[in-house]
Structure 1
């Protein structure tokens, strides 16, 4: 048995490299980059990573030696170092959608404020845009499919805002059917 964690790290360097070469090509493993002693007495040996796209990451192999037995590999992993590029924290879809809708409402409010800032009535062009929006809404009711819980992938977010209008048109359709049955 090795007497200190430093001795264990030195004695198990080849064992750690062999474990790494089982999961990744030797060309992706760089030179030794130190080691840390874990609370349990195990030692984590670090090696520079040469995988493209992972700058600042290290291959880490954790080894331990219990009593008089041979050292053994506990874990092999790719771990980020200081300054490594990391993915942002995950944000649930409902929160992202709420942020999107709030931003869209803010833009609409800014557009309305910008149209009446000079005290003049809106231009004729803006009236035409308003009229065409109303026509577009009625056309969308005829064309857009009803959304179901599993149908959100690939759906334009703006369609979700019109879901209340879709419900109203369905009620109108139901009342038309009742009239026809008489």
Structure 2
């Protein structure tokens, strides 16, 4: 008959020679109070073991009830300074064995280089030209004369404090300023009549 180990107890690593303060192993209330400062109490599950760290620190684990975090554990590291009560050092959510983890981050430049190499290899296998080269050539011809550095129309500095657009030189080419003034005064007269 095999007995199931108590989840609140774990074997200490062989390299941990210092005795463990029993108060740390029993500091579940202190750990729960610390967790309650960073997460709602209903997201904290049952005790799920502990780990003895270097320097006599004990990391107490609790199952998490957070949706989307199966096999993750709330972990509270506690310690005792000589002549004092146990204290909390750190609170964190850590993955356990079999937890779903995000893939390792790969810089954008590396991903782009891999994509371009794959596209070139595909084009070579098909006996054609690199599809990226064709796309670039067409864009160059169509974009000729475009100046992306001149984005005055999108610049937030081109709006007044009330959100009205500010005009730039060239914006009024071919516009009769006197007609604009007449239209504006007609609008003001119409609004005065309504009052």
TM-score normalised according to structure 1 size: 0.61
RMSD: 2.8
The answer to whether the 8 A contact 1:64-1:73 is kept is yes
Unaligned runs of 5+ in 2: 1-17, 129-133, 150-195
CA distance in 1, matches of 2:53, 2:41: 26
Q: How does 1:23-172 map to 2 (within 5 A)?
A: 23-112=38-127, 138-142=141-145, 145=148
Q: 1:112 to 1:8 in 2, by over 3 A?
A: same
Structure with the greater alpha carbon radius of gyration: 2
Q: Summarize deviations over 1:43-98 as a string: whole Å, max 9, x none.
A: 11000011111111100000011112111000000011111111111111111111
Deviation at 1:133, TM superposition (A): 9.4
- Number of aligned positions between the proteins: 128
Helix, strand or coil for the counterpart of 1:40? helix
Give 1:11's match in structure 2, choosing from 4, 26, 45: 26
The answer to whether the 8 A contact 1:9-1:35 is kept is no
Q: 1:109 to 1:67 in 2, by over 3 A?
A: same
The aligned residue for residue 182 of structure 2 is: none
